[in-house]
Structure 1
Amino acid sequence: MEIPTELGKLMGIGWRHTALTPIEVRSRALPFTSRPQDLEGVTTPHDDAFVIRATIANYDVARIFVDTGSSVNVLYKDAFDRMQIDQEELQPMATSLFRFSGHEVQPLGQIQLPLSLGEEPLWRTHKHPLHNGGRSVRLQCHLGRPALSSFGAVVSTFHQKLKFPDL
């Protein structure tokens, strides 16, 4: 796929970029099949947000909002403080984050932490940059596309399920 020079430079990929076509990507993707047991414990119809629990840096973290529309992973300050991570470990950030409402939030920084999803025997851990930002009354973490993509995750808000390949 040929990319114009200006766009290529902006994306940091140089003159030429080879990528899988959408058809090739789909053929290698995890098939998402729904079974009646996938809806166990889910009252339908619903339009509930998808909230999970996971392990971040060896801490059990509840109330993690899975957001396929977000381009960042955010660990809210209260959860960060409970993990007793030294703020000096945060890498400074020059960019702001913007909430869905459009309000600007200046994160305290970002840090690479291990994020573990799943249950034995399908337990996977990947290191992810988490932005430390603001306070949230209800959530401890906001999991966006970067983390979901690295796991190869398929999200179904209807089934309230997150599936990823068995490696």
Structure 2
Amino acid sequence: MSVAWLSTEDANPEPKRARVDIQSALSFLDEDNIKTIQPHNNALVVMLRMGGYDVKRVMVDQCSGAEIMYLDLYKGLNLRPEDLTVYDSPLASFDGNVVVPKGQIRLPMQAGSVVVEVDFIVVDAYSLYTAIMVRPWFHALRAVSSTLHQKVKYPSRGQIEKIVGSQSSAR
């Protein structure tokens, strides 16, 4: 006759639990429209911290492929011509004109608690905006935007942070 010895652990095994990482979804709800003027057709214009300064009238445009900084902002940030690196590919502006860039510069961009290095192409052209933020910034920040809700949302430290647009700046 054989005898099997069981420990109390073997006799009452606890079920194993799968480790589940819960991530918040980046989404927009009707409540995100609170404090926006509806209906509207405004561009998404925000304030961001750029190179240590709060910069207003930054347009958010997910359709473009290159971050743009206008020369007035470049000078306003006290950057010098020698801070630029060469960037000599011409760009087409919104109005269809060809613009030759002054150069390119990499600056830290802060959104809430997240800092992302961004390569800006500096142009000397007229614009109502100081800069244009586009896909590379969104991808680095892991962000999504909604012009309808006038917000950018992105994950940070296990939460969803948001940047709220300024409809008055967009008009």
**TM-score class normalised by the smaller sequence:** 0.7 to 0.9
1:89 is aligned, of 83, 108, 122, to: 83
Aligned length: 135
Cα deviations across residues 132-164 of structure 1 (Å, max 9, x unaligned)?
Answer: 102334210111111111101101111001001
CA separation of 1:135/1:30 partners in 2, compared to 1, >3 Å: closer, same or farther? Answer: farther
1:58 is aligned, of 31, 52, 58, to: 52
Q: Cα distance, 1:68 vs. partner?
A: 0.5
User: Normalised by the size of structure 2, how large is the TM-score?
Assistant: 0.74
The Cα RMSD (Å) is 1.6
Is 1:125 the counterpart of 2:119? The answer is no
Alpha carbons 2:146, 2:152 under 8 Å: kept: yes
Partner of 1:79: 73
Q: Which has the higher strand share?
A: 2
Q: Secondary structure at 1:55's aligned position in 2?
A: strand
2:153 is aligned, of 160, 163, 167, to: 163
How high is the sequence identity, in percent, across the aligned residues? Answer: 28
Partner of 2:135: 145
User: Normalised by the size of structure 1, how large is the TM-score?
Assistant: 0.76
In structure 2, runs of 5+ residues without a counterpart are: 1-22, 158-171
Partner of 1:109: 103
CA separation of 1:98/1:41 partners in 2, compared to 1, >3 Å: closer, same or farther? Answer: same
Q: Cα distance, 1:35 vs. partner?
A: 3.4
Instruction: Give 1:160's aligned amino acid.
Output: Q
Q: Secondary structure at 2:155's aligned position in 1?
A: coil
Q: Secondary structure at 1:69's aligned position in 2?
A: coil
2-structure distance, mates of 1:129, 1:61: 16
